[in-house]
Structure 1
Amino acid sequence: MADNGCGCGGTDCGSSDCGGSCPSGGGRPQSFLEKTHELNSIKRVIGVVSGKGGVGKSLVTSTLSIMMRRKGYEVGVLDADITGPSIPKIFGINQKAQGSELGIYPQTSPNGIKVMSVNLMLDQDDAPVIWRGPMIAGVVKQFWTDVIWGEVDYLFLDMPPGTGDVPLTVFQSIPLDGIVIVTSPQDLVSMIVKKAYNMAREMNIPILGIVENMSYLKCPDCGKEINIFGKSKIDEIAAGLELKVLGKMPIDPSIAELCDMGELEKVNHEHLADAVSYIENKLPVGKENEIMKIAIATEGNNISSHFGKCEHFTVVEIENKSVKNKEVISTEGNQHALLPGFLASRGIKTVIAGGMGDGARQNLEENNIQIISGISGNIDETIQVYIDGNLKSTRSGCSGHGHSHGHNHGEGGCNCGNH
């Protein structure tokens, strides 16, 4: 018998040692799916793909994430286009990613969208990524396995164009709930769509539908729609493949300007509103009966006066105004600048603390965490005041150190005398 390279002995071997990679097909097919970080809870993963470059895939990815975020969902964008990353620029993110022994923390857009891209790890944004395919594919997998995304309802993957190493790695390694195919109204559209369509079908990846970008140009004077690339054929092609057209985006100079300024979150069009509603209904995440998680800076049984230096937090899960769970967790060395990302990764929505500096406050806000500061006293009493809806920050919080606090659960201001 000929050896097929799997060590099983040859064709039609039926060996249990065969991983299914040999032509005989013996044994079960091998799964290459990777588990995401243990601190993550990612409900839905959607890839945005194209058969060729230059069709506006990153714009569609960003727009879908922005519109989904406006509906109140926790949203992340994984920029898998390693050699042509543009997502951080679109969202105006300039800070680099940070990490600890636990993993890598994504950066957050002004409106709370979590973003991870290779540009957040390079010294210079314009530095070329001159890597071979396996290394690029490995980085994409790390963005899934090592990044602490925390609680995410919808994670959008901005995929590189084509059907090469990286798309193959993503399709094999990351459990996609579906893909959106992006194309443009050119004569090549049929081939572009079918390349992505056929690859997804080969890999058993569900196809949610097609978005046509650069579909038309609307005259700013008369409002007439001008077909720059000729009449669109996307409806006929989608019907032939039994796919849904999720939306058509025009050529819009104002959108391009927002991208250049890193302010796409200010966009106000509704071109992909139907696409977002379709994804929301097709891939629901079950937001009802959501449990609210708060974190209280802890020092014994009382609230710590030093947020940035705090080594322990009391994490409380509240549902229907009742405490479902309460535990004290260690920050595991993630103090100061790393602390907001550490808390966000655990799904914390509100932080209660005594003293808090401006830097910590800004980082918490960037991670979409509500702040109640200038609070002191017993933790259990504070939890009850919070549940009753009567816990509020003092007028300016407390940024001083090395002083004691009196009990303060109202709006009377901080009594520490350090303002």
Structure 2
Amino acid sequence: MVDNGCSCGGTDCGSSDCGGSCPSGDGRPQTFLEKTHKLNSIKRVIGVVSGKGGVGKSLVTSTLSVMMRRKGYEVGVLDADITGPSIPRIFGINKKAQGSELGIYPQMSPNGIKVMSVNLMLGQDDAPVIWRGPIIAGVVKQFWTDVIWGEVDYLFLDMPPGTGDVPLTVFQSIPLDGIVIVTYPQDLVSMIVKKAYNMAKEMNIPILGIVENMSYLKCPDCGKEINVFGQSKINEVAEGLQLKVLGKMPIDPCVAELCDKGEIEKVNHEHLGNAVSYIENRLPVGKENEIMKIAIATEGNNISSHFGKCEVFTVVEIENKTIKSKDAVSTEGNQHGLLPGFLTSLGIETVIAGGMGDGARQKLEDTNIQIISGISGNIDEVIQLYLEGNLKSKSSGCSGHEHSHEHNHGKCGCSCGNP
């Protein structure tokens, strides 16, 4: 049963104000959609939801936003979980939101993701929000109507769990282009997914797919995947509801550590790579004609296995998935620690390489350059895989073999880049 705001609850009320489907109304569905701030241009709005709490919606929301930002999109995160806000902490944002007579300004993450949360308006981060449902729902609505987001390609909403006041307000007030359902591998998964699924269907909200968090734990020694919460049932549930599985995220202590430090933007994995590509294709924002540059560490006609020692990069300019130019560019002695700055000066957005150490990786991430590492083979074949969207990192952290013996980084292969 959905409270659609009509006094009859969807039945015959006899009110001339009823916009529902009851006989006394005009037969048109009543809309409660709110307009965003006049200074905003928000192209796509995506809600991240779940039928229960504790499944990792904030982690999925922040990961999707980080990966979208690395692709060059303007990204925002609206923290709609008013009583349990965690987004500012994950992004390491400590400054409070500012305002003027025009509206409220979101805070910015180190890599340019716009963030708005109730914790950016409270005197203390640990102050409890002891508000009733209508007030909480009103605050979320204000984050849409009064916050000056400006130009945003993708605005992600970190939703509170369940199907109560706030999710209902969001579904009715904010024009969602789709939702991503987050769950985890337990017997409850079917019920959890179906609650969110059924609510979205009743509210006519498109469902983009499902992400399974805490899907497995990878042994750091042997690489074996351990099903901590039992065998995953997400594929069967998704098939039964005719939904797409967008990704499976493992339990990763390194990612948890980065979230605690407020350094989620340093995460480098591809667990949600397919989800981001699917959202891009399903909900495009008109970036097709933009030009981007990629740099490939080159040794002859192949990928160089030594990023830090690379003397030549193949710089490829791409427009609308077509190669516009391809040039061999000498590093002119700018090797090791100088490479990230050199590549930034060339306007490089993505680097493709073989082995890469923590220092180089960190500096590239600090300049918002996307990294695709652990790659080998012929340059032209790799470029074609990249154009097709099929080129993914085969290593993370300090897994590049050149650095395991030159810089004594140890055997860390996790997403945090710690030794």
TM-score (norm: length of structure 1):
0.66
Which residue of 2 is the match for residue 251 of structure 1? 251
Say yes or no: does 1:179 pair with 2:189: no
Structure 2 CA distance for partners of 1:85 and 1:241, relative to 1, 3 Å: same
Alignment partners' CA distance in 1, 2:49 and 2:232: 19
Q: How far, CA to CA, are the matches of 2:97 and 2:13 in structure 1?
A: 49
CA distance in structure 2 between the aligned counterparts of 1:118 and 1:15, rounded to whole angstroms: 37
SS in structure 2 of the partner of residue 63 of structure 1: helix
Q: Hey, what does 1:202 align to over in structure 2?
A: 202
Gap change, CA 1:16 and 1:130, over 3 Å in 2: closer
Counting only pairs closer than 5 Å after superposition, residues 216-235 of structure 1 correspond to structure 2 as 216-235=216-235
**Distance in 2 (alpha carbons) for counterparts of 1:145 and 1:286:** 24
Mapped partners of 1:234, 1:104: distance in 2: 40
Amino acid at match of 1:148: I
Kindly indicate whether the alpha-carbon contact (under 8 Å) linking 1:17 and 1:27 is maintained by their aligned counterparts in 2: no
Distance 2:211 2:23 in 1: 37
Deviations 1:235-264 (A, max 9, x none): 000000000000000000000000000001
Alignment map for 1:282-361 (pairs within 5 Å): 282-288=282-288
2:262 alignment partner in structure 1: 262
| Partner SS, residue 54 of structure 2 | coil
1:4-403 alignment runs, 5 A limit: 17-20=17-20, 26-288=26-288
Deviation at 1:290, TM superposition (A): 6.5
Between the aligned partners of 2:35 and 2:24, the Cα distance in structure 1 is 29
% identical aligned pairs = 91
Q: Which residue identity is paired with 2:66?
A: I
CA shift for structure 1 position 27: 3.6
Whether the aligned pair in 2 keeps the contact of 1:12 and 1:26 (CA below 8 Å) is no
Query: 2 CA distance for matches of 1:258 and 1:7?
Result: 48
CA gap of 1:241–1:100, structure 2 versus 1, over 3 A, is: same
CA distance in 1, matches of 2:149, 2:265: 20
Specify whether residues 59 and 6 from structure 1 end up closer, same or farther in structure 2 by C-alpha distance, changes over 3 A only.
Answer: closer
Partners of 1:215 and 1:17 lie apart in 2 by 48
- Measured after TM superposition, the shift of residue 7 of structure 1 is 9.4
Cα distance between partner residues in 2 of 1:38 and 1:24? 35
TM superposition shift of 1:287: 1.8
Between the aligned partners of 2:194 and 2:211, the Cα distance in structure 1 is 14
Q: Secondary structure at the match of 2:60?
A: helix
Larger radius of gyration: 1
CA positional deviation for 1:288: 4.2
1:221–1:138 Cα change, 3 Å:
same
Deviations 1:193-242 (A, max 9, x none): 00000000000000000000000000011100000000000000000000
* Distance of aligned partners of 1:24 and 1:114 in 2 relative to their CA distance in 1, 3 Å threshold: same
Residue correspondences, number: 288
- 1:273-300 per-position Cα deviation (integer Å, ceiling 9, x unaligned): 0000000000000024579xxxxxxxxx
Shift of the 138–23 alpha-carbon distance from structure 1 to 2, 3 Å rule, reads: farther
SS, match of residue 265 in structure 2: helix
Q: CA deviation at 1:189?
A: 0.3
Q: Helix, strand or coil: the match of 1:175?
A: coil
Q: Alpha-carbon deviations, 1:113-149, whole Å to 9, x = none? A: 0000000000000000000000000000000000000
In structure 2, relative to structure 1, the CA distance for the partners of 1:121 and 1:228 (3 Å cut) is same
Amino acid at match of 1:197: Y
**Cα separation, partners in 2 of 1:220 and 1:290, compared to 1, 3 Å:** closer
What is the letter of the counterpart of residue 205 of structure 1?
A: I
Structure 2: where are the runs of 5+ without partners? Answer: 292-365, 369-419
What is the Cα deviation at residue 12 of structure 1? 6.5
Gaps spanning 5+ residues in structure 1: where? 292-365, 369-419
Aligned to 1:179, what secondary structure does the other structure show? strand
Do the aligned partners of 2:21 and 2:28 also contact (CA within 8 Å) in 1?
no
Give the distance between the partners of 2:68 and 2:111, measured in 1 at CA.
11
Q: Check whether the contact 1:14–1:26 (CA below 8 A) recurs between aligned residues.
A: no
